[in-house]
Structure 1
Amino acid sequence: MPPSRRGDERTSRPTLLEIVVPAHNEERRLPGGLLQLCAKLARLPFPTAVIVVDNASTDRTAEIVRSWPQESVPVRLAECTTPGKGAAVRAGLLETTAPFVGFCDADMATDLRAVERAFGLLLSGERIVIGSRAHPLAEVENRHSPIRELGAFGFRALARVLVPGVSDTQCGFKFFDGLLAREIAARLQTDGFAFDVELLARCVAGGVSVLEIPVTWHDMPGSRFSPARHSLGILLELWRIWARLRAESRGALKVKQPLDSVGYP
Protein backbone atom coordinates (compact mmCIF):
# COMPACT_ATOMS: atom_id res chain seq x y z
CA MET A 1 0.00 0.00 0.00
CA PRO A 2 1.39 3.46 -0.90
CA PRO A 3 2.56 5.51 2.10
CA SER A 4 0.04 8.30 1.38
CA ARG A 5 -2.89 5.87 1.43
CA ARG A 6 -1.59 4.29 4.60
CA GLY A 7 -1.45 7.76 6.21
CA ASP A 8 -5.03 8.52 5.09
CA GLU A 9 -6.28 5.30 6.69
CA ARG A 10 -4.49 6.10 9.95
CA THR A 11 -5.96 9.58 10.24
CA SER A 12 -9.49 8.43 9.33
CA ARG A 13 -9.69 6.12 12.34
CA PRO A 14 -10.10 7.28 15.97
CA THR A 15 -6.84 8.15 17.72
CA LEU A 16 -5.78 5.35 20.05
CA LEU A 17 -2.77 6.99 21.73
CA GLU A 18 -2.00 10.64 22.49
CA ILE A 19 1.34 11.81 23.84
CA VAL A 20 1.75 15.10 25.68
CA VAL A 21 5.04 17.02 25.41
CA PRO A 22 5.46 19.92 27.87
CA ALA A 23 7.65 22.69 26.45
CA HIS A 24 9.02 25.88 28.01
CA ASN A 25 11.38 27.82 25.72
CA GLU A 26 12.27 24.68 23.77
CA GLU A 27 12.86 26.18 20.32
CA ARG A 28 16.30 24.57 20.15
CA ARG A 29 15.45 21.05 21.31
CA LEU A 30 11.82 20.70 20.24
CA PRO A 31 12.28 20.28 16.45
CA GLY A 32 14.65 17.34 16.87
CA GLY A 33 12.52 15.83 19.61
CA LEU A 34 9.33 16.08 17.55
CA LEU A 35 11.05 14.55 14.54
CA GLN A 36 12.06 11.54 16.63
CA LEU A 37 8.66 11.17 18.27
CA CYS A 38 6.63 11.52 15.08
CA ALA A 39 8.90 9.11 13.20
CA LYS A 40 8.40 6.55 15.95
CA LEU A 41 4.64 6.99 16.15
CA ALA A 42 4.25 6.90 12.36
CA ARG A 43 5.59 3.33 12.37
CA LEU A 44 2.89 2.12 14.78
CA PRO A 45 -0.08 0.34 13.15
CA PHE A 46 -2.76 2.54 14.74
CA PRO A 47 -3.63 6.26 14.84
CA THR A 48 -1.64 8.44 17.22
CA ALA A 49 -1.35 12.15 17.96
CA VAL A 50 0.92 14.57 19.80
CA ILE A 51 -0.06 17.53 21.97
CA VAL A 52 2.72 20.04 22.66
CA VAL A 53 1.92 22.28 25.63
CA ASP A 54 3.57 25.68 25.36
CA ASN A 55 4.27 26.58 28.98
CA ALA A 56 4.53 30.39 28.93
CA SER A 57 7.42 30.36 26.45
CA THR A 58 9.00 33.60 25.29
CA ASP A 59 10.76 32.08 22.26
CA ARG A 60 9.52 30.39 19.06
CA THR A 61 8.21 27.22 20.73
CA ALA A 62 4.56 27.88 19.82
CA GLU A 63 5.44 28.95 16.27
CA ILE A 64 7.36 25.71 15.68
CA VAL A 65 4.33 23.64 16.69
CA ARG A 66 1.84 25.68 14.67
CA SER A 67 3.92 25.24 11.51
CA TRP A 68 4.67 21.54 12.04
CA PRO A 69 3.76 19.32 9.04
CA GLN A 70 0.46 17.53 9.69
CA GLU A 71 1.14 14.20 8.04
CA SER A 72 0.49 10.72 9.47
CA VAL A 73 0.91 11.96 13.06
CA PRO A 74 -1.09 15.11 13.90
CA VAL A 75 0.73 17.57 16.18
CA ARG A 76 -1.30 20.29 17.86
CA LEU A 77 -0.58 23.11 20.24
CA ALA A 78 -2.09 23.64 23.69
CA GLU A 79 -1.20 26.62 25.81
CA CYS A 80 -0.61 26.83 29.55
CA THR A 81 0.16 30.22 31.06
CA THR A 82 0.75 28.85 34.58
CA PRO A 83 4.53 28.34 34.98
CA GLY A 84 5.78 24.87 35.83
CA LYS A 85 6.13 21.47 34.21
CA GLY A 86 3.39 20.06 36.41
CA ALA A 87 0.94 22.71 35.25
CA ALA A 88 1.86 22.03 31.60
CA VAL A 89 1.46 18.24 31.88
CA ARG A 90 -1.85 18.67 33.72
CA ALA A 91 -3.14 20.97 30.98
CA GLY A 92 -2.00 18.56 28.28
CA LEU A 93 -3.56 15.48 29.86
CA LEU A 94 -6.86 17.32 30.25
CA GLU A 95 -6.74 18.11 26.51
CA THR A 96 -6.56 14.42 25.59
CA THR A 97 -9.50 12.27 24.52
CA ALA A 98 -7.80 9.02 23.49
CA PRO A 99 -8.25 5.74 25.39
CA PHE A 100 -4.50 5.65 26.10
CA VAL A 101 -2.25 8.63 26.85
CA GLY A 102 1.29 9.40 27.92
CA PHE A 103 3.80 12.16 28.30
CA CYS A 104 7.49 12.53 27.58
CA ASP A 105 10.08 15.30 27.68
CA ALA A 106 10.86 17.51 24.70
CA ASP A 107 14.49 16.33 24.64
CA MET A 108 13.43 12.67 24.20
CA ALA A 109 16.05 11.61 26.75
CA THR A 110 14.23 8.29 27.10
CA ASP A 111 14.78 6.00 24.13
CA LEU A 112 11.46 5.80 22.28
CA ARG A 113 11.73 2.07 21.75
CA ALA A 114 10.00 1.88 25.13
CA VAL A 115 6.77 3.28 23.65
CA GLU A 116 5.76 -0.03 22.10
CA ARG A 117 6.42 -1.95 25.29
CA ALA A 118 4.48 0.53 27.41
CA PHE A 119 1.55 0.50 25.01
CA GLY A 120 1.52 -3.30 24.86
CA LEU A 121 1.34 -3.47 28.65
CA LEU A 122 -1.56 -1.01 28.70
CA LEU A 123 -3.39 -3.19 26.17
CA SER A 124 -2.81 -6.21 28.41
CA GLY A 125 -4.59 -4.50 31.30
CA GLU A 126 -2.01 -2.38 33.11
CA ARG A 127 -3.32 1.11 33.92
CA ILE A 128 -0.02 2.91 34.58
CA VAL A 129 3.33 2.09 32.97
CA ILE A 130 6.30 4.34 33.73
CA GLY A 131 9.92 4.37 32.67
CA SER A 132 12.46 3.72 35.40
CA ARG A 133 16.14 4.60 35.34
CA ALA A 134 16.54 2.72 38.62
CA HIS A 135 15.36 -0.61 37.15
CA PRO A 136 18.13 -3.25 37.18
CA LEU A 137 17.85 -3.63 33.40
CA ALA A 138 17.86 0.10 32.61
CA GLU A 139 20.72 1.63 30.64
CA VAL A 140 21.54 5.11 31.91
CA GLU A 141 24.07 7.61 30.64
CA ASN A 142 24.47 10.09 33.50
CA ARG A 143 26.76 13.12 33.47
CA HIS A 144 25.33 14.84 36.53
CA SER A 145 27.58 16.44 39.13
CA PRO A 146 28.09 14.74 42.53
CA ILE A 147 26.06 17.52 44.18
CA ARG A 148 23.12 16.93 41.87
CA GLU A 149 23.41 13.18 42.40
CA LEU A 150 23.29 13.69 46.16
CA GLY A 151 20.20 15.84 45.78
CA ALA A 152 18.56 13.21 43.58
CA PHE A 153 19.28 10.53 46.18
CA GLY A 154 17.61 12.63 48.89
CA PHE A 155 14.62 13.37 46.66
CA ARG A 156 14.10 9.68 45.86
CA ALA A 157 14.18 8.82 49.57
CA LEU A 158 11.46 11.39 50.31
CA ALA A 159 9.41 10.41 47.25
CA ARG A 160 9.35 6.77 48.38
CA VAL A 161 7.54 7.85 51.54
CA LEU A 162 4.73 9.25 49.39
CA VAL A 163 4.84 6.60 46.66
CA PRO A 164 5.94 3.30 48.25
CA GLY A 165 7.31 0.72 45.86
CA VAL A 166 8.18 3.13 43.03
CA SER A 167 11.93 3.51 42.54
CA ASP A 168 11.97 6.37 39.99
CA THR A 169 9.12 8.87 40.14
CA GLN A 170 10.85 11.49 37.95
CA CYS A 171 11.63 9.79 34.66
CA GLY A 172 9.81 11.84 32.02
CA PHE A 173 8.17 8.84 30.38
CA LYS A 174 4.76 7.81 31.72
CA PHE A 175 1.76 6.13 30.07
CA PHE A 176 -1.77 5.65 31.35
CA ASP A 177 -5.26 4.45 30.76
CA GLY A 178 -6.76 7.65 29.36
CA LEU A 179 -9.76 7.87 31.69
CA LEU A 180 -7.54 7.42 34.74
CA ALA A 181 -5.03 10.03 33.53
CA ARG A 182 -7.72 12.65 33.01
CA GLU A 183 -9.37 11.88 36.34
CA ILE A 184 -6.09 12.23 38.26
CA ALA A 185 -4.94 15.27 36.25
CA ALA A 186 -8.11 17.13 37.20
CA ARG A 187 -7.13 16.74 40.88
CA LEU A 188 -3.45 17.64 40.60
CA GLN A 189 -2.36 20.81 42.40
CA THR A 190 1.44 20.65 42.12
CA ASP A 191 2.69 22.93 39.33
CA GLY A 192 6.42 22.32 39.63
CA PHE A 193 9.08 19.61 39.46
CA ALA A 194 7.49 17.28 42.05
CA PHE A 195 4.16 16.94 40.24
CA ASP A 196 5.02 13.34 39.24
CA VAL A 197 5.06 12.42 42.93
CA GLU A 198 1.55 13.77 43.50
CA LEU A 199 0.28 12.12 40.31
CA LEU A 200 1.64 8.69 41.25
CA ALA A 201 0.72 9.05 44.94
CA ARG A 202 -2.89 9.75 44.00
CA CYS A 203 -2.95 6.70 41.74
CA VAL A 204 -1.50 4.45 44.44
CA ALA A 205 -3.87 5.89 47.07
CA GLY A 206 -6.72 4.96 44.74
CA GLY A 207 -5.57 1.35 44.60
CA VAL A 208 -3.98 1.47 41.13
CA SER A 209 -0.65 -0.32 40.81
CA VAL A 210 2.27 1.35 39.03
CA LEU A 211 4.38 -0.81 36.73
CA GLU A 212 7.97 0.32 36.16
CA ILE A 213 9.81 -0.77 33.02
CA PRO A 214 13.52 -0.39 32.23
CA VAL A 215 14.48 2.34 29.79
CA THR A 216 17.54 3.48 27.92
CA TRP A 217 18.12 7.05 29.06
CA HIS A 218 20.63 9.60 27.81
CA ASP A 219 21.60 12.70 29.79
CA MET A 220 20.72 15.55 27.44
CA PRO A 221 22.23 19.06 27.60
CA GLY A 222 19.97 21.98 28.39
CA SER A 223 18.46 20.96 31.73
CA ARG A 224 17.22 23.96 33.72
CA PHE A 225 17.32 22.21 37.10
CA SER A 226 19.77 23.67 39.60
CA PRO A 227 20.21 22.11 43.08
CA ALA A 228 21.15 25.49 44.54
CA ARG A 229 18.11 27.32 43.13
CA HIS A 230 15.43 24.64 43.21
CA SER A 231 16.06 22.29 46.16
CA LEU A 232 14.18 24.33 48.75
CA GLY A 233 11.21 24.78 46.45
CA ILE A 234 11.09 21.04 45.75
CA LEU A 235 11.15 20.22 49.46
CA LEU A 236 8.24 22.59 49.98
CA GLU A 237 6.36 20.93 47.12
CA LEU A 238 6.87 17.49 48.66
CA TRP A 239 5.69 18.74 52.05
CA ARG A 240 2.57 20.28 50.50
CA ILE A 241 1.80 17.03 48.66
CA TRP A 242 2.14 15.04 51.89
CA ALA A 243 -0.02 17.50 53.85
CA ARG A 244 -2.67 17.67 51.11
CA LEU A 245 -3.00 13.91 50.73
CA ARG A 246 -3.05 13.44 54.51
CA ALA A 247 -5.83 16.02 54.89
CA GLU A 248 -7.84 14.42 52.07
CA SER A 249 -7.40 10.99 53.65
CA ARG A 250 -8.64 12.24 57.01
CA GLY A 251 -11.56 13.96 55.34
CA ALA A 252 -12.52 10.76 53.56
CA LEU A 253 -12.46 8.85 56.86
CA LYS A 254 -14.67 11.45 58.54
CA VAL A 255 -17.21 11.14 55.75
CA LYS A 256 -17.13 7.37 55.94
CA GLN A 257 -17.50 7.00 59.73
CA PRO A 258 -21.14 8.18 59.98
CA LEU A 259 -22.11 5.79 57.18
CA ASP A 260 -20.47 2.88 58.95
CA SER A 261 -22.15 3.78 62.20
CA VAL A 262 -25.65 3.40 60.72
CA GLY A 263 -24.91 0.17 58.97
CA TYR A 264 -24.06 1.24 55.44
CA PRO A 265 -21.58 -1.03 53.66
Structure 2
Amino acid sequence: MSPIAVEIVVPAFNEAERLPAGLELLCRRLERLPARAAVLVVDNASSDATAEIVRQWPGGPVEVRLIHCAKRGKGAAVRAGILSSRAGIVGFCDADMATDPAVLDTVLQMMRVHPVIIGSRTHLGSRVEARHSRTRSGGALLFRRIAGRLVPGVGDTQCGFKFFHGDLARQAARRQRSNGFAFDVELLARCVRMGAAPVEVPVTWNDVPGSKFSVLRHGLPVIAELARIWFLLRRTPAVRAVPSASAAEIALIRPAA
Protein backbone atom coordinates (compact mmCIF):
# COMPACT_ATOMS: atom_id res chain seq x y z
CA MET A 1 0.00 0.00 0.00
CA SER A 2 1.10 3.59 -0.57
CA PRO A 3 2.36 5.44 2.52
CA ILE A 4 0.07 7.72 4.47
CA ALA A 5 0.51 11.23 3.06
CA VAL A 6 -1.83 13.20 5.32
CA GLU A 7 -2.49 12.85 9.06
CA ILE A 8 -5.14 14.89 10.85
CA VAL A 9 -5.06 15.31 14.62
CA VAL A 10 -8.43 15.60 16.40
CA PRO A 11 -8.10 16.64 20.08
CA ALA A 12 -10.95 15.23 22.15
CA PHE A 13 -11.91 15.90 25.75
CA ASN A 14 -15.27 14.35 26.68
CA GLU A 15 -16.44 14.43 23.06
CA ALA A 16 -18.57 11.26 23.13
CA GLU A 17 -21.63 13.18 21.88
CA ARG A 18 -20.04 15.15 19.06
CA LEU A 19 -17.19 12.87 17.98
CA PRO A 20 -19.11 10.15 16.03
CA ALA A 21 -20.75 12.59 13.61
CA GLY A 22 -17.55 14.60 13.28
CA LEU A 23 -15.40 11.54 12.57
CA GLU A 24 -17.86 10.22 10.00
CA LEU A 25 -17.90 13.54 8.15
CA LEU A 26 -14.11 13.82 8.20
CA CYS A 27 -13.50 10.25 7.07
CA ARG A 28 -15.94 10.61 4.18
CA ARG A 29 -14.03 13.66 2.98
CA LEU A 30 -10.64 11.98 3.40
CA GLU A 31 -11.76 8.94 1.39
CA ARG A 32 -12.05 11.21 -1.64
CA LEU A 33 -8.45 12.43 -1.49
CA PRO A 34 -6.01 11.14 -4.11
CA ALA A 35 -3.59 10.11 -1.33
CA ARG A 36 -3.89 7.95 1.78
CA ALA A 37 -4.92 9.73 4.96
CA ALA A 38 -5.25 8.87 8.65
CA VAL A 39 -6.97 10.46 11.64
CA LEU A 40 -5.25 10.63 15.04
CA VAL A 41 -7.83 11.14 17.78
CA VAL A 42 -6.11 12.33 20.95
CA ASP A 43 -8.12 11.44 24.05
CA ASN A 44 -7.27 14.22 26.48
CA ALA A 45 -8.00 12.34 29.74
CA SER A 46 -11.73 12.11 29.02
CA SER A 47 -14.10 10.71 31.62
CA ASP A 48 -16.78 9.66 29.11
CA ALA A 49 -16.79 7.13 26.25
CA THR A 50 -14.57 9.16 23.91
CA ALA A 51 -11.75 6.60 23.84
CA GLU A 52 -14.14 3.65 23.44
CA ILE A 53 -15.77 5.28 20.42
CA VAL A 54 -12.38 5.48 18.70
CA ARG A 55 -11.40 1.92 19.67
CA GLN A 56 -14.61 0.56 18.14
CA TRP A 57 -14.50 2.74 15.03
CA PRO A 58 -15.08 0.49 11.98
CA GLY A 59 -12.12 -0.09 9.70
CA GLY A 60 -12.07 1.50 6.29
CA PRO A 61 -9.82 3.24 3.77
CA VAL A 62 -9.10 5.97 6.34
CA GLU A 63 -7.23 4.69 9.40
CA VAL A 64 -8.48 6.09 12.71
CA ARG A 65 -6.00 5.75 15.56
CA LEU A 66 -6.33 6.51 19.27
CA ILE A 67 -3.64 8.41 21.15
CA HIS A 68 -3.76 9.08 24.88
CA CYS A 69 -2.68 12.39 26.39
CA ALA A 70 -2.93 12.55 30.17
CA LYS A 71 -1.87 16.20 30.35
CA ARG A 72 -4.99 18.38 30.24
CA GLY A 73 -5.39 21.13 27.67
CA LYS A 74 -6.17 21.36 23.98
CA GLY A 75 -2.63 22.53 23.28
CA ALA A 76 -1.16 19.49 25.03
CA ALA A 77 -3.45 17.18 23.05
CA VAL A 78 -2.62 18.72 19.68
CA ARG A 79 1.09 18.68 20.50
CA ALA A 80 0.90 14.97 21.42
CA GLY A 81 -0.89 14.23 18.15
CA ILE A 82 1.57 16.16 16.00
CA LEU A 83 4.55 14.51 17.67
CA SER A 84 2.95 11.09 17.06
CA SER A 85 2.58 11.85 13.34
CA ARG A 86 4.87 10.70 10.57
CA ALA A 87 3.22 12.00 7.41
CA GLY A 88 4.52 14.68 5.07
CA ILE A 89 1.39 16.76 5.67
CA VAL A 90 0.00 17.16 9.20
CA GLY A 91 -3.00 19.15 10.36
CA PHE A 92 -5.55 19.39 13.10
CA CYS A 93 -9.24 20.17 13.36
CA ASP A 94 -11.89 20.22 16.06
CA ALA A 95 -14.01 17.19 16.92
CA ASP A 96 -17.24 19.03 16.11
CA MET A 97 -16.10 19.78 12.53
CA ALA A 98 -17.34 23.35 12.91
CA THR A 99 -15.09 24.08 9.93
CA ASP A 100 -16.46 22.25 6.90
CA PRO A 101 -13.70 19.77 5.87
CA ALA A 102 -14.63 20.33 2.22
CA VAL A 103 -11.92 23.02 2.23
CA LEU A 104 -9.34 20.21 2.50
CA ASP A 105 -9.02 19.94 -1.27
CA THR A 106 -8.00 23.60 -1.52
CA VAL A 107 -5.70 23.38 1.49
CA LEU A 108 -3.76 20.37 0.22
CA GLN A 109 -3.28 21.86 -3.23
CA MET A 110 -1.93 25.07 -1.71
CA MET A 111 0.49 23.05 0.41
CA ARG A 112 2.46 22.28 -2.71
CA VAL A 113 3.69 25.88 -2.41
CA HIS A 114 3.03 27.06 1.16
CA PRO A 115 4.22 25.24 4.32
CA VAL A 116 1.44 26.56 6.61
CA ILE A 117 -2.22 26.89 5.58
CA ILE A 118 -4.85 27.91 8.13
CA GLY A 119 -8.60 28.38 7.99
CA SER A 120 -9.75 31.90 8.74
CA ARG A 121 -13.22 33.04 9.76
CA THR A 122 -12.18 36.66 9.15
CA HIS A 123 -11.34 36.01 5.49
CA LEU A 124 -13.62 37.95 3.16
CA GLY A 125 -14.57 34.74 1.37
CA SER A 126 -15.61 32.87 4.52
CA ARG A 127 -19.18 31.97 5.42
CA VAL A 128 -19.62 32.09 9.18
CA GLU A 129 -22.68 31.18 11.21
CA ALA A 130 -22.03 32.24 14.79
CA ARG A 131 -24.33 32.37 17.80
CA HIS A 132 -21.92 33.93 20.27
CA SER A 133 -22.94 36.34 23.02
CA ARG A 134 -21.75 39.95 22.95
CA THR A 135 -19.39 39.12 25.80
CA ARG A 136 -17.74 36.32 23.85
CA SER A 137 -17.60 38.36 20.65
CA GLY A 138 -15.96 41.22 22.52
CA GLY A 139 -13.49 38.87 24.14
CA ALA A 140 -12.63 37.38 20.74
CA LEU A 141 -11.91 40.84 19.34
CA LEU A 142 -9.56 41.64 22.22
CA PHE A 143 -7.85 38.27 21.81
CA ARG A 144 -7.31 38.85 18.07
CA ARG A 145 -5.72 42.22 18.71
CA ILE A 146 -3.24 40.79 21.19
CA ALA A 147 -2.55 37.69 19.11
CA GLY A 148 -1.92 39.93 16.09
CA ARG A 149 1.13 41.31 17.89
CA LEU A 150 2.57 37.81 18.19
CA VAL A 151 1.59 36.56 14.73
CA PRO A 152 1.50 39.66 12.51
CA GLY A 153 -0.64 39.52 9.40
CA VAL A 154 -2.89 36.68 10.61
CA GLY A 155 -6.53 37.65 11.11
CA ASP A 156 -7.73 34.47 12.83
CA THR A 157 -5.29 32.42 14.88
CA GLN A 158 -8.01 30.37 16.58
CA CYS A 159 -9.96 28.69 13.79
CA GLY A 160 -9.53 24.98 14.52
CA PHE A 161 -8.35 24.04 11.04
CA LYS A 162 -4.61 24.23 10.41
CA PHE A 163 -2.21 22.29 8.17
CA PHE A 164 1.57 22.18 7.97
CA HIS A 165 4.41 20.47 6.19
CA GLY A 166 5.02 17.61 8.60
CA ASP A 167 8.65 18.27 9.55
CA LEU A 168 7.89 21.92 10.20
CA ALA A 169 4.91 21.08 12.43
CA ARG A 170 6.92 18.57 14.44
CA GLN A 171 9.80 21.02 14.92
CA ALA A 172 7.41 23.75 16.08
CA ALA A 173 5.49 21.36 18.37
CA ARG A 174 8.70 20.21 20.07
CA ARG A 175 9.34 23.82 21.08
CA GLN A 176 5.71 24.53 22.05
CA ARG A 177 5.11 25.07 25.76
CA SER A 178 1.54 26.40 25.83
CA ASN A 179 -1.13 23.79 26.66
CA GLY A 180 -4.28 25.91 26.81
CA PHE A 181 -6.65 27.62 24.37
CA ALA A 182 -3.97 30.05 23.15
CA PHE A 183 -1.59 27.30 22.00
CA ASP A 184 -2.39 28.07 18.34
CA VAL A 185 -0.73 31.46 18.72
CA GLU A 186 2.52 29.95 19.96
CA LEU A 187 2.53 27.21 17.33
CA LEU A 188 2.01 29.70 14.50
CA ALA A 189 4.51 32.16 15.97
CA ARG A 190 7.16 29.45 16.11
CA CYS A 191 6.50 28.60 12.46
CA VAL A 192 6.90 32.26 11.57
CA ARG A 193 10.20 32.38 13.48
CA MET A 194 11.36 29.49 11.29
CA GLY A 195 10.51 31.51 8.21
CA ALA A 196 7.15 29.90 7.37
CA ALA A 197 4.44 32.55 7.14
CA PRO A 198 0.87 31.18 7.49
CA VAL A 199 -1.48 31.65 4.56
CA GLU A 200 -5.17 32.04 5.42
CA VAL A 201 -7.96 30.45 3.38
CA PRO A 202 -11.72 31.08 3.53
CA VAL A 203 -13.85 28.50 5.31
CA THR A 204 -17.46 27.62 5.93
CA TRP A 205 -17.83 27.66 9.69
CA ASN A 206 -20.87 26.79 11.79
CA ASP A 207 -21.04 27.39 15.51
CA VAL A 208 -21.72 23.94 17.00
CA PRO A 209 -23.18 23.85 20.55
CA GLY A 210 -20.99 22.25 23.19
CA SER A 211 -17.90 24.47 23.21
CA LYS A 212 -15.96 24.17 26.47
CA PHE A 213 -14.62 27.72 26.32
CA SER A 214 -16.14 30.29 28.67
CA VAL A 215 -15.11 33.96 28.61
CA LEU A 216 -15.85 34.31 32.34
CA ARG A 217 -13.89 31.20 33.36
CA HIS A 218 -11.09 31.28 30.81
CA GLY A 219 -10.76 34.94 29.77
CA LEU A 220 -8.09 36.06 32.23
CA PRO A 221 -6.11 32.79 32.08
CA VAL A 222 -6.00 33.07 28.28
CA ILE A 223 -4.66 36.64 28.46
CA ALA A 224 -2.05 35.42 30.94
CA GLU A 225 -1.21 32.59 28.55
CA LEU A 226 -0.64 35.08 25.72
CA ALA A 227 1.71 37.06 27.97
CA ARG A 228 3.62 33.88 28.77
CA ILE A 229 3.89 33.03 25.06
CA TRP A 230 5.30 36.51 24.40
CA PHE A 231 7.87 35.96 27.18
CA LEU A 232 8.80 32.50 25.89
CA LEU A 233 9.29 33.74 22.33
CA ARG A 234 11.52 36.57 23.50
CA ARG A 235 13.75 34.04 25.26
CA THR A 236 13.91 31.66 22.30
CA PRO A 237 16.29 32.41 19.45
CA ALA A 238 14.75 32.35 15.99
CA VAL A 239 15.54 29.34 13.81
CA ARG A 240 15.68 30.40 10.19
CA ALA A 241 16.08 27.03 8.48
CA VAL A 242 12.71 25.79 7.27
CA PRO A 243 12.45 22.23 5.93
CA SER A 244 10.93 22.22 2.47
CA ALA A 245 8.31 19.76 1.29
CA SER A 246 10.09 16.96 -0.49
CA ALA A 247 9.33 15.97 -4.05
CA ALA A 248 7.68 12.82 -2.68
CA GLU A 249 5.36 14.83 -0.44
CA ILE A 250 4.34 17.10 -3.30
CA ALA A 251 3.66 14.13 -5.55
CA LEU A 252 1.41 12.57 -2.92
CA ILE A 253 -0.91 15.56 -2.80
CA ARG A 254 -1.29 16.12 -6.52
CA PRO A 255 -4.88 15.89 -7.75
CA ALA A 256 -6.02 12.57 -9.11
CA ALA A 257 -5.70 12.27 -12.89
The amino acid across from 2:49 in the alignment is: R
Give me the whole-angstrom Cα distance separating, in 2, the residues matched to 1:131 and 1:103. Answer: 11
Aligned to 2:155: 167
Describe the SS at the equivalent of 1:19: strand
The amino acid across from 2:159 in the alignment is: C
Give me the whole-angstrom Cα distance separating, in 2, the residues matched to 1:230 and 1:53. Answer: 22
State the shift of 1:249 in Å. 3.8
Per-residue Cα deviation, 1:103-132 (whole angstroms, up to 9, x for no partner): 000000001111110000112x21000000
Task: Flag the structure with larger Rg.
Answer: 1
Aligned to 1:262: none
Percent of aligned pairs with the same amino acid: 56
Aligned to 2:49: 60
Superposed counterparts of 1:27-176, under 5 Å: 27-123=16-112, 125-176=113-164
Whether 1:237 and 2:225 are equivalent positions in the alignment is: yes
Give me the whole-angstrom Cα distance separating, in 1, the residues matched to 2:124 and 2:31. Answer: 30
Aligned to 1:26: 15
The amino acid across from 1:19 in the alignment is: I
TM-score (norm 1): 0.89
Per-residue Cα deviation, 1:184-223 (whole angstroms, up to 9, x for no partner): 1111000000000000111112211110000000000001
Give me the whole-angstrom Cα distance separating, in 2, the residues matched to 1:45 and 1:152. Answer: 37
Give me the whole-angstrom Cα distance separating, in 2, the residues matched to 1:200 and 1:247. Answer: 17
Aligned to 1:203: 191
Aligned to 1:259: none
2:180 to 186, 189, 192: 192
Structure 1 segments (4+ residues) deviating >6 Å:
none
1:178 to 166, 169, 176: 166
Give me the whole-angstrom Cα distance separating, in 1, the residues matched to 2:3 and 2:236. Answer: 37
Structure 2 unaligned blocks of 5 or more: 240-257
Please tell me the root mean square deviation across aligned C-alpha atoms, in Å.
1.0
Give me the whole-angstrom Cα distance separating, in 1, the residues matched to 2:187 and 2:97. Answer: 21
Give me the whole-angstrom Cα distance separating, in 2, the residues matched to 1:70 and 1:171. Answer: 29
